[in-house]
Structure 1
């Protein structure tokens, strides 16, 4: 059970952590710096835009206040690899890149673009993070990536009003979730909004079911393609997932409606002005859409429960995240490494945690830094999972299989949503696509 803290305690903890007042709306500052990097300009590239970019800028500003280094953020859009590669070729490489996928980090390391983290940064990772995060930031035993921002992708968001009307409570198991879903549907509102138009959401559904049923060891083997997608554990997970996909009563609009619903649309179907479903599965970032686009009060009229354990397995915790890496071709190596050393501290994480829309895998970050109980609950779950956290499997795969619209896993799981009648045949098609992508990797 998470311990509640008073507002005064939250402010006091932040003030101690950051050396500045965090109460009364005053900006959080790093403080206490020696301005040792004055005169240098640090260029950081990442996928963020909008509110995320604005909040990350607060982190950059805090680093400037601490060290004297000026900062510049460059938004890459989704195709990080192509943009960074072109900048390297053009002699204009950024100093630091916030890499959103394990597969991209491995690709960068394989192309000899990255500088290993300093001993100081590695020491902080060893002290402040569960070992699994160091593993995901390493290639062939060398640590290149520092995971600064994480996503908790094992959360099911629901309308308390819909649950109350149907007389159901948040479920403790996957089977109970489907049973509660049937009760909700019987009350007149479909249970789930599924964002089938976006194939990545379907990979997340599969990964949570698979991790719970098959366990972390098998999950790791499948992520590395050390076992085939025709493995019985895969067919079993697809069969379990197919039970939901085949029940048109449970899914708003049935499979056809789901396949024309994107991720924001799925959130709208639950938390928009005219609800069409009671639940939407996706990561903690659902809260941002529900709050910013539909004015929902998180923790009151938009709540979540952990993705429940499947058929006797353990409740899964699947994550994603953004790792900071230092490019060899960057012009400000000293500032870049100092920035990563600072990002590894709870002080840096607290800056964005207070701003909102952020989870940190840093276990030393005081939970008081988060702005509300719901975010603290997701952070507690993520950090509390320790070494059982597993990174999004599709993000670990070659992009041709795990990250391309209209191809590979995304398309094949969309096809499975459309017709889930033959899990074994879908597994065979997934294996054929995976084998080709891993064979051509790099």
Structure 2
């Protein structure tokens, strides 16, 4: 499924992210943590007016768990305080379209849902579940968001969603002590990454912690390699299934990825260990154990910081970050995000969308860490350390120069379903990286079925 707002160049954000993140790898502890302003819950004076909703009850569904859910709950608590409404968080399961479908069929849809895939937004609109945003939320969007982020929340020219959360999915986080012990420096090219992985593994620390139990992380690995190696034009074509997954460009990307996945000594626990590792563990095991962790590096977006916070490691000193290395001429930058959509035509649902489109909501979660907002009005000082502040500034400075996560643009059956489609095909590839042709054939068969062509 095609999402508008994705056919743009990557150069602006890529350059900014690379410069910012590389500079931050040298950050010490100074200025790493910032105390929030004193008084109340720590946020600035309200900048958006909300209606009184005394007695109204709202349900908000999202697939978030753990610290991410806890931090978002702080945002909902502030909404309750300012409106008088009572808000309940409803944990959802992937694929969220299936989860919402069962709720709606049972006559009990949540008031608002946070959708992690563009394809899910399109499905919600096609199924006539979603409500267009009201004038108050639209005013906040027009004031605080770039055209690209607004377009991603629109379907056929009608605004349905508010992109509350964004992500730069082109970052590799590393254990500073492990790198220092092995004498390794952050690589800037794929060749340098493989060489660094070899050195790290030879030193006794596996190079990479791969969250193979969560197929979505494998799609992000592929997308970064593919965008850098094949280029933006091919990326857009594959995202829309205008070229097949049996294309030679996919073969090249999988072969390149196999240079890392194919070395069992590179992976924490080998291929079998990677396939049984879920995303939170992939992070925490990289930042425990001093200079002998389970792995020296872990790949994923800025939200990794939430999981690092569950360890004794400190972002900016023990945990550092570098941009995903360039495979081709330019380093890739792949973005993602969660879009808030009203599923009921209620005053409360629209008020919550208005709040989520304001800097007031985003700054609460920004202070908690592991969160980046596409909202231009968010105060950079709200971010808790220099690394997350730099990532956020790069996102805003890039404007509309980004490529959105490819699997999130796809129909959920292909790009967003555990144990099926792209997730399963890439897990099978991780188990046997030498079978490039087999992986391509499976990906194409599943894509053709999901896209209907």
Counterparts of 1:23 and 1:265 in 2: how far apart (Å)? Answer: 34
Give structure 1 stretches of 5+ with no counterpart.
15-21
1:31/1:65 contact within 8 Å kept? no
Q: Is the 8 A contact 1:64 1:70 kept in 2?
A: yes
- State the partner residue of 2:87: 71
Aligned equivalent of 1:277: 295
Task: Describe the SS at the equivalent of 1:207.
Answer: helix
Please say if 1:23 is aligned against 2:38.
yes
Q: 1:266 & 1:348 partners in 2: Cα distance?
A: 29
The whole-number CA distance in structure 1 between the counterparts of 2:217 and 2:52 is: 45
Q: Does 1:339 align with 2:352?
A: yes
d(CA) in 2 for partners of 1:78, 1:340:
22
Do structure 1's residue 432 and structure 2's residue 448 form an aligned pair? no
Once the 2 structures are TM-superposed, how far is the Cα of residue 177 of structure 1 from its aligned partner? 1.6
Q: Return 5+ residue gaps in structure 2 as ranges.
A: 1-18
2:97 aligned with 1:81, yes or no? yes
Q: Which residue in the other structure is 2:388 paired with?
A: 375
Q: State whether structure 2 residue 335 is matched by structure 1 residue 319.
A: yes
The DSSP-based 3-state class of the residue aligned with 1:437 is: helix
Q: CA deviation at 1:68?
A: 3.8
Please, which of 394, 402, 416 is the counterpart of residue 429 of structure 2? 416
How high is the TM-score relative to the length of structure 2?
0.84
State whether structure 2 residue 316 is matched by structure 1 residue 299: yes
Name the residue aligned to 2:15.
none
CA RMSD of aligned residues (A): 2.8
Comparing both chains, which one has the higher relative contact order based on Cα–Cα distances under 8 Å and sequence gaps of 6 or more? 2
Shift of 1:119: 4.0
Q: Is the 8 A contact 1:197 1:260 kept in 2?
A: yes
Report the more deviating stretch, 175-184 or 42-51: 42-51
What is the Cα deviation at residue 49 of structure 1? 3.7
Deviation at 1:150, TM superposition (A): 2.1
Say which of 85, 108, 125 aligns to 1:92.
108
SS at 1:116's partner residue? coil
Matched, 1:404 2:417: yes
3-state SS of 2:315 partner:
coil
2:34–2:385 Cα contact (<8 Å) kept: no
Q: Helix, strand or coil: the match of 1:158? A: strand
**268, 281, 298: which one aligns with 1:265:** 281
User: Do the aligned residues in 2 keep the contact of 1:30 with 1:62 (CA within 8 Å)?
Assistant: no
Q: What SS does structure 2 have at the residue aligned with 1:324?
A: strand
Q: What's the CA shift for 1:122? A: 3.2
- CA contact under 8 A between 1:35 and 1:68: conserved in structure 2? no
| Deviation readout 1:64-115 (Å, 9 max, x if unpaired) | 3333444333223434333333333333332211122211111110111111
Distance across 2 between alignment mates of 1:287 and 1:248: 26
Which one of the candidate residues 129, 132, 138 is aligned to 1:113? 129
Alpha-carbon spacing, 1:181–1:342, altered in 2? closer, same or farther (3 Å): same
Contact preservation (8 Å) 1:148, 1:344: yes
